[in-house]
Structure 1
Amino acid sequence: MGKTSVRKRIKQFWQALTIKKKIATFTGTVFLIIAVSVLFNVWVVKFSLIDFNRILQDNAAVSELAQALEEESIQFETYIKGNREERESLDIAIERTGRAVEKLPFRYSEIGEQRYAKTWSIKSCYEVYCQKRDAMLAMGENAPDYIKRLYEVYEMQDYLEEYAATLMNETIEDGDGLYHKKVPMLICMPIVVVVSGIILVTGMMELAALMNQTIISPVVALVKAAQRIAANDFFSEDVQVQNEDELGELVHAFNKMKYATGEYIMALEEKRKTLDLLHEEELGKLETEKRLEMIKLELLKSQINPHFLFNTLNVISGMAKLEEAETTEKMILALSSLFRYNLKTPEQSVPLAKELKVVADYMYLQQMRFGERIRYELNCKVEQELVMVPAFTFQPLVENAIIHGVSPKEEGGSIRIVVRQKEMRLHIVIGDDGIGMTEEELQQLKSRLKTDDARHSGIGLGNVYRRITAMYADGNFEIYSKKNAGTVIFIDIPCREETGDMT
């Protein structure tokens, strides 16, 4: 019960943090875990390698001294007995003993009182021994006190060897004691490593889950809700989040806008039906179809108090920018751009640049949702700002390609747009490498487009097809598809500049 309560309080505290503080907390925790891991590894290395290496080095230094003293005593005795040719070997042995004495550990804090006293005695005695040994080697055999000084050297050699043996025993005993002291901790160390690793990984997983729940999931939910709105579903369930940060405010404003826009579109639909009844007898068939298409287009762009929506999105985008939440800011700006274009574009024809900008914003949101499963490529060889194209043409076709072509594939796929000008014609190609269609399915789709069966051909695809054929008497709209290879839509229309004249 206590654990659940603590976890609930942590979750409530996290939900109340701003996006900037959430990211800062997550980043700081990651750096803290890395720092703790590095320090722990350094301690393990010191504990398991450095300390034991010092024991081995101490033992080796004392052992080297004992061997060097023994070797020097043998070479000295050989030299004194008359074998003067062994002087070079004696000098080598003397030099080895000197190096061994210098390498003896001599730090009180590391070797302790007893070893320090023995080492100090050896170093002091060795200095006196060197003086007497060198003096002995320099005098001749006929010197008056030659024998006396010779035995003094022998006695000091025995003394040094005895102290070296004692120091070796004490060094070995100290090393053995330190080893037995550290062995239990070495045995427990793997358990400590495993337990600490589990704790750190569990903590990171919990924090990552909170990040996903409070940042990524709300954004994905908004994208799905926006897709339902694009499919004219304004009365689906509200997006539910528990955030108290900027995303919570955005979701609240989005839900209000969704229902208000749906109610306004219903009113427009009723008005459309009334106008259809009043003018049904006066309008010809072609004119009636064109008006219906215009009304459907206007329904897609209808809005209720757009200033409220755009101002709210701009405020939240500004807050995300101030708090350095770049990804959130980009997604909000892309979503705002899509709504602005859908709700505030009354023209039938717009510059190509506007249509491509809407596609870029839409693909950005889709890539944030699907990640690397969705790829987008644009190849445009015309003046985007000058060439005019029908409004709301590219985005519905791209959305149709993602929903029916790319997203059903487990590995995802690519969307490619190619725009070319050939003489006085504008060629538009929108293709994907999705699941494609069989020849039978393709023929059924073409038949439904020609018979105006929007329920089965798709609202977006059917709408674009009917507007192309209605706006351009010589316009062409073709669909090519192959199962498991992809689908391509080819649009051929007259190339017009912004003035409306033929290029």
Structure 2
Amino acid sequence: MIKIRTKLLIYFVAVLLLVVLLFFVREESARQVMELHDESSSQYFLLNEITKVTDQTFQSLQIYVHEPSDDNLVFYSEDKQKLIDLQAEYEKMEVIGVEEKNFLSMLSSFLELTDKTAAWVGEEEIEQYSYYLNEADNTANYIHEMTLELINQELTDYQNVLALEDQKMESTKNMGTAIFLAIIIGSVTFAIWFSNGLTRTIDRLTGAAKEISAGNYTGDDVVVSGKDELKILTETFNQMKRNILQSVNEMEEKARLSHLLKEMELKSLQNQINPHFLFNTLNTISKMSYIEGAEKTTDLISSVSALLRYNIGVLDRETVLKDEVEIVREYFFIQKTRFGDRVAFHQNIDEACLDTPIPCLTLQPIMENAFMHGIEEIAQGAEITLHIYQQHDMINIDIWDNGVGMDKETINHLLGAKTKVEESAQENKRVGHSTGIGMRNVMDRLELFDQNSQFQVQSELGKGTKVSIQLPKK
């Protein structure tokens, strides 16, 4: 992830490097021009100085010839030494052509002639030193003329170099202009790109926030292509929207379940027609049947009394799995009396699981559904099995039958939420069953009891139905 601050730092560093590059190119070009100018100027000055010192040396020599004194000889020697030094300095120049070598040779000849002139003056040989003095004068004139030629040639060459330097300066100027324009264009492009990236994401977040404020929590998530702080902000915003939607759904679901429970309690209260009177009446009938020797009738009435007493209690009360199993046994005994040998009830129950808390009237409605939708129309060999066991940290409850089974559409209709009119119509059709509680109601109360609980229905036409419940062990 590249942070916004990192992007800005990279941009500023890039601009700074371009500016430094522009400054370096201009300074380097100016330095080269100055070096060339200084080199040419120093060469001109050196040639001019050589010509001047040559004249001074010849004049000192003439003075010594006319007045051969020690002082004049010293003056001549000093001027000659200056010329020798200038000659050595000129030899150190980097570019020495044919003309320059001839010029140096002429300087050496001039110095030899002046030395011979001074020597013959000491010998007082007038004819000899006059000859060498005259030759030295001619050589000095040649040196002067050659100096002018060299300066003229250097100026001509310098004009060509200046043209090249002007061209180079123009190229450097164009390069600097290009770099400057690149900085401007790059800055504008970066500013537009950077601002668009910020404003586009902010606009999307603003639009999504307006949708949420209007109560629309199901809109699409805000998507950004960048990988900076705005991406983290957008992902957090999307997660917040999903959390709000989940919270709203949970509140609506709890409100629906609470309303459903209140309706069931009201219906249960409406069905309670003086339960104490009904229990006492059933007990009286049971005792009379026992006195008359009708033991099966006594057992049947006892089962009906226990079943009725369990069903008319408060629906959202908590009980344990043991009580649910007992009431299922009572219910099956009643149905066994009705169906006889047409149906068999098998139990495979782990006694260690019977202390598990469970909502009231959870297993009996499933057993009723197995009778009503599964085996009620089977003439012979119907079976219902109740299997309770522990697996890891979960208590598993399986109820399956070998009835007619159901297709996917029927299962979805059985488990799907229905309107109040549909629920009332279905409950009115449950003739011969005690609870009138649908599978959807069982699922809702299990979810309200423990959100970690699971409820599954597996069925195929002609292969029976299996209902599985999983509860965390407590």
After TM superposition, the score normalised by the length of structure 2 is: 0.42
After TM superposition, the score normalised by the length of structure 1 is: 0.39
Point out the structure with max Rg over C-alpha. 2
